[in-house]
């Protein structure tokens, strides 16, 4: 069905070339890692921001948690907004919201107004968490989804690296507000770039058979339960990686390994650095081998082993943490990519694909809101026991969920070919 009104904004009267797709993707990816930069830009200077604006200890938590709450609350509404007003209008509105939030934060004279700015930034982050992955099946053919989702899944690692390298340097030389000024520049660039470059094909690629505009897909068999279970497993991943490693691992390295604040922040950055090239490689291989399921299930199993044996070793020896960070970077390249890439395979109907990917965004927000549980667990049973008896079992359960509940994409694609053959025979 042809889109009309604001939903038609940015929709071309033809299919896009491969170059146009990647230019559009580049603009969206820049916006994505700008949103991730905004999420983490406060972390290196959070105590000083609190002191400057008069936050109490509880209020400091809201500086980061507002983003998680927004991702949780906006998961399904974000999907509906995109379906109603279209892709280009959705991402531009998200970027304008982010810009408004950063302007407020840049000049906020007190804690209350600063939190208003963070909440608005968080809304933009929540929207791109949902809208970004949902755009990709519309923009690229199914055969490219592994590579596309492999690169798209790097928006958080890239934003994290930029924030944790750039924000401390800016803070040390000029204070915390210039960090916000840098984000404003990034947001203006993103807004202009997306206005110029974001285009959508006349017919979404996930409605076509092999990119042929004369052949529309009929809804095939949907494996919605498997898609939802992928999101359930991903909830465990976000809790393990974001809540426990991204947030708390530097503290473990300081308290147990005796590392400085700077060194303890830099070591976990290697996870993100390794994830970037390996994520692209895994995306290419998953498309080539049609093995997205195993690029998720096997890394979950490896994560379970790492949590039990390497991540939280006692004493000051650094062999365990270095081994953990290197291998965790490889696992972090496979799990988000494979989860996002297999969902359009399992659920071919476009609106159901949107719902499944929105459920993944909801699971992400829910897990991030559970971050306080990680601190409570560590305080109660200690770092090593938390890794061995909480995090390792969670990763193992996630691996079993994927192995048992999710049909391999190779088998699903065989079913799709049979469905196409049956349809051709019927005609």
What integer is the mean pLDDT of 129-147? 91
Q: Give the least confident one: 135-139, 208-212, 281-285.
A: 208-212
Q: Is the pLDDT of residue 424 over 60?
A: yes
Q: Rounded mean pLDDT of 206-210?
A: 79
What kind of architecture, by CATH, is found in domain 5-216?
Answer: Up-down Bundle (1.20)
pLDDT of residue 323: 97
pLDDT digits (tens, 9 = 90+) for 346-389: 998 888 999 999 999 999 989 988 887 888 899 899 999 999 99
Both structure tokens of 113:
């107004």
pLDDT at 337 (0 to 100) = 94
pLDDT tier, 297 (very low <50, low <70, confident <90, very high otherwise): very high
Please tell me whether residue 184 adopts helix, strand or coil conformation.
Answer: helix
Closest alpha carbon to 249 in 274, 275, 273, 268: 268
- Looking at per-residue pLDDT, the higher value among 335 and 143 belongs to 335
Mean pLDDT of 192-201: 97
**Domain residue ranges of the chain, discontinuous segments joined by +:** 5-216, 230-420
pLDDT one-digit tens code per residue, 23-55: 999 999 999 999 999 988 887 787 788 889 888
User: Which letter, b or e, does each residue of 287-323 get, where b requires 16 or more Cβ atoms within 10 Å of its Cβ?
Assistant: beebbbbbbbbbbbbbbbebbbebbbbeeeebebbee
Instruction: Over range 64-92, report the average pLDDT.
Output: 87
Percent of the chain residues past pLDDT 70, beyond the cut: 97
Structure tokens at 43: 């972390």
| Separation of alpha carbons 147 and 22, rounded Å | 12
Range 230-420 has CATH code 1.20.1250.20: yes
> What is the chain's mean pLDDT, rounded?
90
């Amino acid at each position: 069905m042809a889109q009309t009104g604001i939903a038609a904004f940015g929709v071309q009267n033809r299919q896009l070339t491969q170059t146009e797709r990647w230019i559009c993707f580049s603009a969206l990816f820049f916006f994505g890692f700008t949103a991730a930069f905004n999420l983490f830009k406060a972390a290196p200077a959070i105590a000083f921001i609190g002191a400057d604006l008069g936050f109490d200890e509880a209020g400091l938590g809201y500086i980061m948690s507002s983003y998680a709450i927004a991702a949780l609350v906006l998961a399904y509404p974000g999907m509906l907004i995109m379906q109603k007003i279209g892709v280009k209008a959705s991402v531009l509105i998200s970027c304008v919201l982010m810009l408004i939030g950063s302007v407020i934060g840049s000049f906020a004279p007190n804690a209350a107004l600063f939190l208003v700015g963070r909440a608005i930034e968080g809304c933009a982050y929540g929207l791109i968490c949902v809208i970004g992955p949902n755009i990709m099946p519309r923009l690229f053919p199914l055969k490219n989804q592994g590579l596309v989702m492999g690169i798209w899944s790097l928006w958080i690692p890239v934003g994290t690296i930029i924030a944790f390298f750039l924000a401390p340097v800016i803070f040390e030389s000029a204070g915390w507000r210039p960090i916000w000024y840098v984000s404003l520049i990034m947001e203006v660039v993103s807004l202009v770039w997306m206005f110029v470059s974001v285009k959508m094909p006349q017919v979404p690629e996930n409605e076509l058979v092999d990119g042929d505009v004369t052949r529309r897909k009929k809804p095939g068999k949907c494996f919605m339960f498997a898609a939802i279970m992928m999101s359930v497993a991903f909830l465990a991943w976000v809790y393990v990686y974001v809540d426990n490693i991204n947030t708390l691992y530097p503290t473990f390295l300081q308290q147990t390994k005796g590392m400085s604040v700077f060194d303890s922040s830099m070591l976990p950055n290697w996870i993100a650095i390794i994830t970037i090239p390996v994520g692209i490689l895994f995306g290419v291989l998953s498309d080539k081998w049609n093995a997205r399921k195993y690029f998720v299930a096997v890394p979950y199993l490896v994560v379970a082993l790492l949590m039990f044996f390497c991540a939280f070793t006692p004493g000051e020896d650094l062999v365990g943490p270095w081994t953990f960070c290197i291998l965790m970077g490889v696992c972090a390249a496979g799990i988000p990519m494979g989860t996002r890439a297999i969902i359009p395979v399992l659920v071919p109907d476009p609106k159901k694909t949107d719902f499944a990917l929105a459920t993944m965004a909801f699971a992400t927000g829910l897990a991030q809101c559970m971050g306080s549980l990680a601190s409570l667990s560590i305080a109660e049973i200690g770092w090593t026991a938390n890794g061995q008896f909480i995090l390792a079992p969670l990763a193992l359960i996630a691996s079993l969920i994927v192995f048992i509940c999710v049909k391999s994409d190779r088998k699903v694609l065989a079913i799709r070919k049979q469905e196409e053959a049956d349809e051709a025979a019927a005609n």
